[in-house]
């Protein structure tokens, strides 16, 4: 593989609180190749959104990057000052948020919001920016963009609003888009449309996407590779096809099996007992061990390192010494 567009090494995100420091993201490492869609999947509280926020530099204080490095296109970006960060954020790395209603300003026409964003990142006149905004709206599939550009966000439906948000993200011609639950607020039929759109943009523009979601179905439709997060750590990384068909980590296995299937009905779903620990109560050793049916000696004492298997990279003691 050529040089990845984004490379994250041992990223740590911490929240200092009165009761000590909470580690929300614990030494996460992954790469995203140029034009690749990396899915980041996990249950709520797994640290997937915080990882995205840390990369684009939008961590809300008191949250902070406490360790590791983030390398974007060959340059470290985690230690830049605010001014330099701003030249990367929005232009080279863009973000799509979950709720399209709160990521648009209700008081401005969408054209003004698009033109403002384009002028911030690209050197062109207002007139050029406006025609560029129209072509962006056209690209994301908004019908009659010449007239719709002067509409307000409330005049759009949920799906159309999300298209506008995607157009905004494209304004600076980014190399990487971090999409944080981009379809969660949408109905399935609209979700299918947005997934198609993201895939097409990725193909046509050669742009990489970090797709954060809790929905394995969306990942299976969209992503080339997946990282499964559990309690702030990566449990497993691998190609989507391998992960869906040959999940290795007991958590990934349980996660896949607990999703009801549309193709066949079964009497009982596989269930993982318990729920993900709170940040204050992350157990020692492997964070998954209290819920794991295959735990053995080292699990509750020492954190597993990552092991390469035929299908994926797994952080699980079962794979210590080359296999089960």
Partner 1 sequence: MSEALVEVANLTRLFDVSKPWLNRVIEGDEKQFLRAVDDVSFEIKKGETFALVGESGSGKSTVAKMVVGLIPPTQGEISIENISMTDPAQVGAMRTLRRRIQMIFQDPFASLNPRWRVDRIVSEPIRAFDLESDDNAIARRVEELLSLVGLSGADGRKFPHEFSGGQRQRICIARALASKPDFIVCDEPTSALDVSVQAQILNLMRDLQAEFGLTYLFISHDLSVVRHMATRVGVMYLGRIVEVADSANLFDTPEHPYTRMLFDAVPDLMMSGRPHQSVEGEIPNPINPPSGCTFHPRCPLANDRCRQEIPQPLTSGASTVTCHAREEGRTA
Chain contacts with partner 1 (rule: CB under 8 A): 43-44, 157-160, 187-193, 195-196, 214-218, 220-221, 240-241, 244-245, 254-255, 258-263, 265-273, 275-276
Q: How far apart are CA 1 and CA 134, in angstroms?
A: 36
Phi, psi dihedrals of residue 216, rounded to the nearest 5°: -60, -30
- DSSP string computed for 182-242: TTTTS-HHHHHHHHHHHHHHHHHH--EEEEEES-HHHHHHH-SEEEEEETTEEEEEEEHHH
Phi, psi dihedrals of residue 69, rounded to the nearest 5°: -135, 150
Least Å distance, CB 211 to partner 1, is 12
Angle between helices 110-121 and 158-170 (to 10 degrees): 20
Using CA atoms in the order 218, 220, 223, 227, what is the torsion angle rounded to 10 degrees? 100
- Residue among 181, 173, 183 at smallest CA distance from 206: 173
Ranges of beta strands (E only) in 54-109 are 64-72, 75-76, 93-96
CA atoms within 13 A on the CB side of 196: 10
Contact of 65 with 11, CB cutoff 8 Å: yes
Least Å distance, CB 305 to partner 1, is 24
A 10 A CB-CB count for 306 gives 15
Among left, alpha and beta (phi > 0; psi -120 to 50; other), residue 51 is alpha
Strand-pairing partners, residue 6, are: 32, 72
Of 75 and 241, nearer to partner 1 (C-beta) is 241
Contact of 69 with 77, CB cutoff 8 Å: no
């Amino acid at each position: 593989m050529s040089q990845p567009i984004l490379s994250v090494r041992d990223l740590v995100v911490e929240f200092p609180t009165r009761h000590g420091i909470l580690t929300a993201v614990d030494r996460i490492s992954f790469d995203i190749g140029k034009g690749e869609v990396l899915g980041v999947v996990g249950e709520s509280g797994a640290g997937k959104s915080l990882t995205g926020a840390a990369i684009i530099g939008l961590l809300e204080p008191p949250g902070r990057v406490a360790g590791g490095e983030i390398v974007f296109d060959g340059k470290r970006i985690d230690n830049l000052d605010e001014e330099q960060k701003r030249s990367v954020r929005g232009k080279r790395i863009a973000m799509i948020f979950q709720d399209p209603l709160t990521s648009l300003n209700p008081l401005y026409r969408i054209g003004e919001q698009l033109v403002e964003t384009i002028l911030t990142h690209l050197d062109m006149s207002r007139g050029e920016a406006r025609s560029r905004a129209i072509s962006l709206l056209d690209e994301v599939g908004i019908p009659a963009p010449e007239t719709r550009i002067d509409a307000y966000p409330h005049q759009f439906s949920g799906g159309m609003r999300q298209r506008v948000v995607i157009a905004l993200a494209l304004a600076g011609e980014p190399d990487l888009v971090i999409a944080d639950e981009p379809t969660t607020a949408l109905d399935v039929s609209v979700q299918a449309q947005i997934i198609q759109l993201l895939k097409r943009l990725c193909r046509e523009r050669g742009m990489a996407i970090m797709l954060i979601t809790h929905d394995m179905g969306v990942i299976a439709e969209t992503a080339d590779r997946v990282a499964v997060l559990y309690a702030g750590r990566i449990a497993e990384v691998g190609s989507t096809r391998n992960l869906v068909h040959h999940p290795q980590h007991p958590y990934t296995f349980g996660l896949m099996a607990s999703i009801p299937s549309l193709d066949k009905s079964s009497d009982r779903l596989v269930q993982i007992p318990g729920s993900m620990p709170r940040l204050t109560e992350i157990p020692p050793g492997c964070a998954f061990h209290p819920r794991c049916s295959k735990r053995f000696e080292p699990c509750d004492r020492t954190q597993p390192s990552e092991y390469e298997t035929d299908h994926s990279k797994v952080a699980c003691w079962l794979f210590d010494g080359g296999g089960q």
